[in-house]
Structure 1
């Protein structure tokens, strides 16, 4: 039996509906299925590799033209020559498309979030999801992650930046990068778009906190000793402790007595209270050993006799259930005449520079005492343990140095002299 001639465009266009469905064959298994409803559907009949007959549907005419249908037939033949079942290939393609559309940025972000939550504090976890839901999901959450463009992410981050939340924009940029990395590891994306965005957000010039230098220390100590700011005793002790232990202001004033072991002379700040422990992403879970000198320990015992019945070392006078305000020490420094010249953070800068330059300690040792994290997070806990003995000695040397400067201030009448 001779093969039927290929269809013409006119035959296809003029195919009318009948009471029963019928087929117009183009050859190679391709035919136009004309239904009683008038619909005209392109289909391809072929045999699978096991010999069973199967059917592919290409779509309706005229949306799928005769030429389109022939190209799809050719694609099916090419797949079969490669040993690929075109029906399975079609089903796999549909499944992948459906998965791609389901794998939105928000869906993957929430999976990433669920995996990370066990490693975060409650506060970090809450802040993270609130920020994502407020700033990221409304803009790009519904978009399939593989279809996102650089411009969409940049516009989302700049919208945050434009309202003045530059630090939040920077942090969320890092979060989005981690979400893309997670998607890549799960086989749901192939490229981390955010990793390329190094300069899309505005850079801020680094600012330095005001701090006196080592040569000004005797004058400062003399003023502190004379109590020119008319401080209450707990506040005076707070200022002395800032000098001796140079923790962050919030870490000092928010300290509960439960962290201080007066019997052992130890002060260990739980990681949840440390700056790096409060990070939204990958918080540092290392507790911080303050390393008390004899002088610092003596001050704590004096303070305990005054405020030991309260929860905090430095209870708020109006509400003893709360610690004193961050501004308390700034007000004292202003009264001492150091406004714009010294800050709470300035005690840390003073200690860092003086201990290295005048006492000769290595940067790494002072850095750990300041609770700065080493770049290698894996080595973080190890390094801190290794430096603990050296840090204890350093803190005692620092306290002795301050005492020597205080005596020098008495001899010179509190005038600053060159070291």
Structure 2
């Protein structure tokens, strides 16, 4: 007689295991611990075999009978249910392994691996910015996708979405970073080709407006305006120091007295504050040292060199320097960063060595082969260059002629 659901549910354990038959080879095995297991006994090629169908109550009586019928159908077709079960399990495990492999090779995982490889040569701020753009714009679209399955149209979809909100510069940066991730995937054997490489020329562009810079002819007038203009003394000195050192405004605003070596007349900026995460030393001219002397007299030689106007425990803000340019009437004609271009143009036109100028600007050598053979800091040459530059600015402000190279360098 067939079992009932009540019999199955009420079956109790005894001092030894036993079974309750349902017929046609199906029975319920009850262990001494009370565990109930559905089993199917059959013969294949003359050998008796038992196939476990599952545990009660997860597998009910009705489900156990359907599983027995399925096993019986396999037997009728000349297949061993136990072998087919093992085959299904192997296929299932293979699918799981494939899913895990794809998960490990997802764009998001590959991005993090690539990103960690770059940390040694990036500043923390730049590293955070790179990851933030990919998290915001790329991950929602292709983050979970295996890199081997991602096609160019999917990348184009990301770029068009960014362009639609008018962020053409961000679209360009995202493409550069996505391209770098896929290139890393090719290099490490995850993929055979880089789908982002097919995006060349696809981005929308707008006319490039370089940061406004004051010409050599405009410097005398600007320098006089800066000296007498209605701006805070700290801001004036910070701007003058920025121009004299050809440093980035952020590097100047974040300068601390610990970075200044008074005896060596050298400003040593640590890697974490540099754009390319490489330490940079700036030779200080007599004029730059004079500004530091004035700042030390005003605020002491501890902590931040150029403190905030209202809160001296914080650095001078970027907006303060920009507002000063506005107050002086130069906001539409020049930017703080533009003075680096002015320095580079005049120094190059005056015949200084290009490598020395690039080193003074802390620019990364684009030619990697050339960079490998040009690791010199050019410190003596840069001392001469920065003193020449400071003397030139001083003479321009006071109406003198432009001084030839070397004439003022050793004064």
| TM-score > 0.5 by shorter chain | yes
The alpha-carbon distance between structure 1 residues 333 and 113, as it changes in their structure 2 partners (threshold 3 A), is: closer
Number of the residue aligned with 2:213: 211
Match status 1:275 vs 2:267:
no
Match status 1:38 vs 2:73:
yes
Match status 1:402 vs 2:404:
no
The alpha-carbon distance between structure 1 residues 37 and 232, as it changes in their structure 2 partners (threshold 3 A), is: same
Number of the residue aligned with 1:388: 379
Number of the residue aligned with 2:317: 325
- Contact 1:265/1:297, CA 8 A, preserved across alignment: yes
Number of the residue aligned with 2:192: 190
1:1-400 aligned at under 5 Å gives the runs: 37-39=72-74, 97-98=98-99, 101-102=102-103, 103-117=105-119, 120-225=122-227, 227=228, 229-277=229-277, 286-309=278-301, 311-357=303-349, 359-377=350-368, 380=371, 383=374, 385-400=376-391
The alpha-carbon distance between structure 1 residues 100 and 317, as it changes in their structure 2 partners (threshold 3 A), is: closer
Give the deviation of 1:169 after TM superposition. Answer: 2.9
The alpha-carbon distance between structure 1 residues 230 and 368, as it changes in their structure 2 partners (threshold 3 A), is: same
SS in 1 for 2:243: helix
SS in 2 for 1:200: coil
TM-score (normalised: structure 2):
0.69
Structure number with greater CO (CA < 8 Å, separation at least 6) is 1
The alpha-carbon distance between structure 1 residues 381 and 344, as it changes in their structure 2 partners (threshold 3 A), is: farther
SS in 1 for 2:267: strand
In 2: Cα distance, 1:214 partner to 1:120 partner: 34
Unaligned runs of 5+ in 2: 1-23, 26-41, 46-68, 402-411
In 2: Cα distance, 1:131 partner to 1:274 partner: 20
In 2: Cα distance, 1:204 partner to 1:42 partner: 69
Give the deviation of 1:267 after TM superposition. Answer: 0.5
In 2: Cα distance, 1:212 partner to 1:124 partner: 28
Give the deviation of 1:316 after TM superposition. Answer: 1.1
In 1: Cα distance, 2:285 partner to 2:113 partner: 47
The alpha-carbon distance between structure 1 residues 247 and 101, as it changes in their structure 2 partners (threshold 3 A), is: closer
- Contact 2:121/2:276, CA 8 A, preserved across alignment: no
Size of the alignment, in residue pairs?
Answer: 335
The alpha-carbon distance between structure 1 residues 217 and 161, as it changes in their structure 2 partners (threshold 3 A), is: same
Query: Residues 331-353 of structure 1: CA distance to partner in whole angstroms, max 9, x if unpaired?
Result: 33333333322221232222122
Unaligned runs of 5+ in 1: 1-17, 24-33, 46-54, 61-87, 278-285, 411-419
Cα-Cα RMSD? 3.6
